[in-house]
């Protein structure tokens, strides 16, 4: 009888793509994947270290899985495991702690998934991480949209972030290897490939290549597909890339560009590589070239030193930007980061209040963007799942679309007229 394994992922889309690749390891070694409610023999938790709550949730999940099956073999990997392996190994019930460099080769280190009295740790020091492992995942049950890892690690010194210490220096494979794995996803039937990594815009800087060159090679591949860039730093989004997206039909007309604060003073303390003027100029440039482009923004609230005046400055700046939506994060103190020692700590209730204010602004921004698109013809890729009689998908410029379920539309590009009516917010042309 085949053993069962269950996976739980915390954090970013990059983690999800890596969990999917870990899953392939287990399947090729004779395991079946179980759902959350049935007991498994092995549980793999891919952890996150971006916030304290993500680490706390990791510990809670370990206890939950052991309640389901006290004899289950518990593996914790991911960024939390890389940063504080000893802390995780001391959690009751954890059998193995797998570092960032080892998670793509779990079966090289563990051959018997039987509970031990003490946990085992397989962990390379972050400064010694040199390897790159490909990873990809599907967002839907069907083969529609795949997140495809093309870069790992980060060289940026942002004062709030643990990722460089969890994943090491920026690194990426040469383009022939990327294209080989890209083609495999297309052969498997995926129609939208989302390029992901810690800092995708840094692709190739360690090997003499660059993201623009890679994109040019990707679109030359024959097939009915499109490419979406998951997220790109404002200082790395070049005129070449913007013009390429404008003129290439296989590129999604959507950019997700981290801002983090609408105050240049806070950006300086964060050690971000731009100011608000550069960011504003970039947004205006994109919309001048691609008027229908969707633009998403990451923002952190409650960073040390963010006074009420600076928060208002940030809010007003973001409100003035013609962007499509916000991803809002509440600042969380992370051990061993410079920001933890900064003066001007913002009380947690105030951080959450500001988060709520910006989330409301995000809804306002998205509503205005949808209103702008009302009546326009857009291209949507419908996914392979049914939800309460509806099929869903995303437009090229990242509007979620709902339409009455029709299996003939699944995993196909369709022209629609966007009506901004919910739950059925389009008509298929």
Mean pLDDT per 10-residue section of the chain, whose length is 429 residues: 92 91 93 89 93 86 93 95 92 93 94 87 90 81 84 96 94 97 95 97 97 98 97 98 98 98 98 98 98 98 98 98 98 95 97 98 97 96 88 96 94 94 88
CATH topology of domain 132-252: Transcription Regulator spoIIAA (3.30.750)
What's domain 254-372's architecture? Answer: 2-Layer Sandwich (3.30)
| Structure token pair of residue 71 | 């004899």
At residue 142, the pLDDT reads 60
**Angle at CA of residue 410, ends 255 and 391, nearest 5°:** 80
> Could you tell me the pTM of the whole model?
0.93
Question: Do the first three CATH levels of 4-128 and 132-252 match, i.e. the same topology?
Answer: no
Return the half-sphere exposure (C-beta side, CA atoms, 13 A cut-off) of residue 379: 16
Is the domain spanning 4-128 CATH 3.40.50.12160? The answer is yes
**Angle at CA of residue 141, ends 147 and 228, nearest 5°:** 25
d(C-alpha 10, C-alpha 270), whole Å: 24
C-beta separation of 76 from 62 below 8 A: yes
C-beta separation of 300 from 337 below 8 A: no
* Residue owning tokens 């205006």: 284
On the 0-12 / 13-18 / 19+ scale of CB atoms within 10 A, 222 is exposed
At residue 116, the pLDDT reads 81
| Structure token pair of residue 318 | 């973001």
| Structure token pair of residue 409 | 């539309």
Backbone CA torsion sign across 408, 410, 414, 418: positive
What ranges do the domains of the chain cover?
4-128, 132-252, 254-372, 377-428
Element (H, E) at 187: helix 175-187
């Amino acid at each position: 009888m085949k053993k069962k394994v269950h996976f739980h992922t915390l954090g970013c889309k990059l983690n999800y793509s890596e969990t999917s690749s870990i899953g392939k390891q287990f399947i090729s070694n004779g395991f079946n994947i179980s759902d959350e409610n049935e007991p498994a023999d092995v549980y793999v938790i891919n952890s996150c270290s971006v916030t304290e709550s993500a680490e706390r949730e990791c510990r809670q999940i370990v206890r939950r899985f052991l309640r389901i099956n006290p004899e289950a073999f518990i593996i914790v990997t991911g960024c939390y495991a890389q940063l504080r392996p000893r802390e995780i190994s001391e959690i009751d019930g954890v059998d193995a702690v797998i570092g960032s460099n080892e998670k793509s080769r779990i079966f090289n280190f563990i051959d018997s998934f039987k509970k031990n009295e003490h946990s085992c740790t397989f962990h390379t020091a972050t400064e010694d991480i040199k390897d790159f492992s490909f990873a990809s995942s599907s967002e839907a049950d069907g083969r529609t949209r795949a997140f495809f890892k093309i870069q790992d690690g980060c060289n940026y010194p942002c004062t709030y972030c643990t990722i460089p210490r969890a994943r090491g220096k920026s690194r990426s494979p040469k383009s022939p290897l990327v294209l080989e794995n890209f083609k495999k996803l297309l052969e498997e039937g995926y129609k939208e490939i989302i390029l992901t990594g810690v800092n995708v815009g840094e692709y190739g800087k360690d090997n003499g290549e660059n993201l623009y060159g890679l994109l040019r090679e990707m679109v030359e591949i024959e097939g009915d597909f499109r490419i979406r860039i998951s997220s790109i730093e404002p200082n790395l989004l070049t005129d070449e890339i913007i013009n390429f997206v404008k003129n290439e039909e296989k590129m999604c007309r959507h950019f997700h560009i981290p801002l983090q604060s609408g105050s240049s003073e806070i950006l300086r303390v964060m050690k971000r590589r731009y100011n608000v003027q550069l960011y504003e100029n970039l947004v205006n440039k994109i919309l001048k070239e691609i008027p229908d482009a969707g633009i998403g923004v990451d923002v952190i609230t409650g960073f040390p030193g963010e006074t009420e005046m600076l928060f208002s400055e940030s809010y007003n700046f973001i409100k003035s930007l013609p962007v499509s939506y916000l991803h809002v994060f509440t600042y969380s103190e992370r051990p061993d980061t410079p920001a933890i020692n900064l003066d001007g700590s913002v009380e947690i209730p105030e951080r959450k209040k500001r988060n709520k204010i910006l989330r409301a602004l995000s809804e306002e921004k998205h509503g205005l963007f949808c209103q702008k698109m009302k009546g326009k013809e857009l291209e949507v890729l419908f996914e392979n799942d049914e939800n309460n009689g509806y099929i869903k998908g995303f437009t090229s410029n990242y509007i979620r679309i709902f339409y009455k379920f029709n299996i003939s539309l699944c995993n196909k590009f369709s022209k629609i007229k966007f009506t901004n009516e919910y739950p059925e917010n389009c008509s298929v042309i």
